[in-house]
Structure formats: structure tokens, C-alpha cells
Amino acid sequence: MAELSERIQKADWKKEKHVPSIDAPDELKAGELFEVKVSLGKEIGHPNTTEHHIPWISVYFHPEGGKFTHQLGHFQFTAHGEGVKGPNQGPAYTHHAITFLAKLNESGTLHALALCNIHGLWEDSKEIKVVE
């Protein structure tokens, strides 16, 4: 039987509109606040319509040599043009991009997981080195 991890798709974000791309420093000091940006469709835009959109992005951190993965945040995008007049006639759309602050005490890997309501799960990773 297949496992969920086998269902998570990977690709080059420059060629595939579903891949989240993580923007964060390569190196930082322990305990220093830094900005993490995750966006999707940086090169090739992903649709944001009532029928086809990105409902959420989750970001995780896995410390180097560690056993367990920690969730840094889960970001839900809940407006996709829904309205009383019908699909895509509504007043608002949430765009599938996030920026948040975090601190790390250890080196490790950031993982971003994004869901497309039609095209499933997509991931990207980025290593971050914590220096003294």
C-alpha cells in the first residue's frame, strides 16, 4: 500500500506552478528573528479562482540529526472569489503567499507543503545553518 509521503509531489518551481518556494536566509545566528517567505507560482502563476486555488500552506522545521519534525505554522487561504452572485463574483481573494518571523536554535531544514484543491500536495525544502 502506498504511503502519504509518496503522494507529495516535487518539481523545479521555475517550471512547475504548484511548487512552493521558500525564501529565508542560508545562515543565521541562534535565537535571531528572521523572515520566512513562502510563495507559489513565482515564475508561472497558479490560478486563484473559486474552482481552482491553493487552500493552505504549512511550514515545518526538522533539526539536523533530529528525530522529529516541528510545525512552524499553518496558513489557510479562505477567500477565492465566492459571493452571493456566484463563483468568482465575490469581493475578495486571498493570495497564496505568506511571510512570518521565526527563530531557530539549531541548524536544520525548512519544509513547505502546499495543497492545490485539484492537483494535490506539493513540497519544497531549504536548509538553514545556525552559526554561533
Of the candidates 132, 123, 96, 93, the one whose C-alpha atom is nearest the C-alpha of residue 10 is: 123
Q: Which of residues 116, 122, 128, 130 is near Fe ion by CB under 5 A? A: 116
Active site residue 16: yes
Active site residue 18: yes
Identity of the residue, 40 or 130, whose beta carbon is nearer to Fe ion in the bound complex: 40
At 9, give phi and psi (nearest 5°).
-90, 145
Active site residue 46: yes
* Binding-site size, Fe ion (CB under 5 A): 3
Catalytic residue (choose from 10, 14, 29, 52): 52
Q: Which of residues 15-74 bind Fe ion (CB under 5 A)?
A: none
Chain position carrying cell 535565537:
31
Instruction: Please identify every residue annotated as catalytic.
Output: 16-18, 46, 52, 116, 119
